[in-house]
Structure 1
């Protein structure tokens, strides 16, 4: 599942929760003598990643976001390859997690994994195949060591 789909689904869940929390505009003074006031609404907060999305991502081989120490080590390792790779940390982590999904999806096609990773990490500066191989090692070491 890509990041845009996850964001869109999260927005829908939050919007639905907001709509269910809305009350009516009915004037309560007409029946307040016989009817107790309604109990406060207890709408549960939506989880940071809804369970269906989290399990779908896990099935696709995309790991959860790393803890702060793991993320810092990952960014340091990327910056050792090229200082521009880890300059936008959230983007670098997202790309790395997506790369775990690619590794999971194509376990026997290393060429495809390299090609997709190279495309994913190339931005203003094109990464080389040699850099891509190093990126794959860093991603596997820090973000998806199970693969």
Structure 2
């Protein structure tokens, strides 16, 4: 079992535990209890990401599925300990995907460069691998682009 699987399970348990520790207090009238309050750092970050043409921070599930998709391509693309970097690169690629969705060849070249495959993993520096990573980005991190 990979560290990522164990980490994802631990995060899910932690999220449930934190939710359970929240107390029995009712949310204020008009608050659905699950929405972010105005002016929070997360909300401001999501607005900034949207203004930059990037999707909002992905859910834990979307992150996990994206990282698993990278592992299915080749485990070396996102080795344990580099998950955040891989997600960040994927989110950046979403911006490129949104800017020029019809230029797949260019997007594949950008994907290969963004994931540092020419220098770090030259044997994976192929249009086929770039296309698979690009498809994983699109499917899991920015399906609306």
In the superposition, the TM-score normalised over structure 2's length comes to: 0.62
Specify which of 83, 88, 91 is matched with residue 94 of structure 1: 88
| Aligned CA-pair RMSD | 1.9
Specify which of 116, 119, 131 is matched with residue 122 of structure 1: 116
Specify which of 85, 103, 118 is matched with residue 97 of structure 2: 103
User: 1:16-49 CA distances to partner (integer Å, 9 max, x unpaired)?
Assistant: xxxxxxxxxxxxxxxxxxxxxxxxxxxxxx8434
- Unpaired runs of 5+ residues, structure 1, are 1-45
Residue 50 (structure 1) shift: 6.7
The count of corresponding residues between Structure 1 and Structure 2 is: 101
Partner of 1:48: 41
Residue 109 (structure 1) shift: 2.0
Q: Which has the higher helix share?
A: 2
Distance in 2 between residues matched to 1:95 and 1:65, nearest whole Å: 12
In the superposition, the TM-score normalised over structure 1's length comes to: 0.61
Partner of 2:63: 71
Partner of 2:143: 145
Residue 134 (structure 1) shift: 0.4
